[in-house]
Chains A and B, each alone.
Chain A
Amino acid sequence: MNCAEFQEVLPDIIESGGNPEEEAHLKSCAVCSDLVQDLRYIADTAKLLLPMRDPSPRVWTGIRGALQREGLVRPLAGTVRFRPQAAAVLSQRRWVRGGSMLAVAALLLFAIGIIWLRNNSTRQPQPAVTARVPAAAPAAAADDDDAQMLNFVQHKSPALLATYRENLESVNAYIRDARRRIEQDPNDMGAHDHLIRAYDEKALLYEMAMARSGE
């Protein structure tokens, strides 16, 4: 089994563990092993959020740290940057759990997508891998999360729904264009950079949505 084949079944491995062949690849490949370790860490950390009314800053710091260690996000600018203000604002509101879950889902999605992308871009000598970008499963998850985010905005600030919808379409178009370019030329590092920035922009949109406190 090579890295490309392994990555195709990665979501299943994260969820339910791999078969002997996949486990063997995991043991022999440091890159895939690191990737799985990171994703499991993020998933485990995310679970901690569910029973809490007010997630500990440690959780956000942990997730952020994992992404930063991977070089997937840039350092924070000020204290409001990463820990969604929603966690503070919403902590006294009855549906904080839904907001936290949505934030976690979004973070997981971005982490998986970006880590996947980064993993692909670091293995450019393997054409079969470099040409591959996050595909069906993450895309479906993205659609679902997008819908949840828009529902969240609609609930909190109906007047801003159109703005968020429009901007979501814009940033998804950015992601699509960057992906398309990478498929055309996997060695175009500028396109890879655009894709990462596009995900950053999408993360910003989710963060801002979470920070809605119009109730």
Chain B
Amino acid sequence: MSAIGELRTLRRTGRGRLSPAQKEAEAKERRRDSRAALVFLAPWLVGLFGITVGPVLASLYLAFTDYNLLQDPNFVGLENVQRMLGDERLGRSLAATLTYVVVSVPIQLVVALALAYLLDRGIRGLAFYRSVLYLPSLLGASVAIAVLWRLVFGGEGLVNAFLGLFGITGPAWVAEPETALGTLIVLHVWTFGAPMVIFLAGLRQIPRQYYDAAATDGANRWQQLRSITLPLLSPIIFFNLVLGLIGTFQSFTQAYIVSNGSGGPTDSTLFFSLYLYQEGFAGFRMGYASALAWLLLLIIGAFTALNFWASKYWVFYDD
């Protein structure tokens, strides 16, 4: 309800019943209000329908076609779903993506929480450290850092030069099927800044008197962390977990740059989005790529639903 409407409600409660004419006038005004709201919302609505809803619906249609970018799409029913069932690369892509998500999201959360916890202990120059620790998050998804990563973890990169000081000859981390995905996980964990800042804000909201009371009762740091901090922070952990999963499932840039767009070596870094991109834009199979996009949506939806269901058992809302 608009501010004007609210004022009117106030006036009305003061005056009691309305005559039919007044009611009519009011309805008219309300309609004008909602028209004004529409006008103000228009830019956002154009974006929502033009850039989000429309394309999403179009891709749902394309998922059932053989669209190849250059010719008109033909409806092919469930052919794309059938293709998925026999698609060996899709399997490898799912394996790489799931490994990436399942390993890197929890590690990143633990690192972010640990650092937020340390920063919350009141270090001098907090703003400085916070900025420095946040920096990787701004850089991590950028092309430049991915390029840098390839050089740092290359056969003659920084990491191996460092290991060389101790007489260890490291492998070409980004070029070995066993270690390539690991370098991407490290890169992702390194971008812990966003969840860290959210954790920091959450920690600040926990009332100090809980800790004071606990200290009076003789609880040590560890007990305080377990019995006060973690339960009261659990909604924030849950929030970061859900956002982290959704974002990580859709990772693209790092794998694209580090593997030169191939998802290699031997598909070990073939993230789902990268595979979808290869199919759509390099293989001219946009219909299949659209179907893959919907599969990804379903997978992320399932994971998120599972998360919400599980949250009943461990998330504590203090209200």
Are A and B part of the same complex? Answer: no
B residues in contact (CB < 8 Å) with A: none
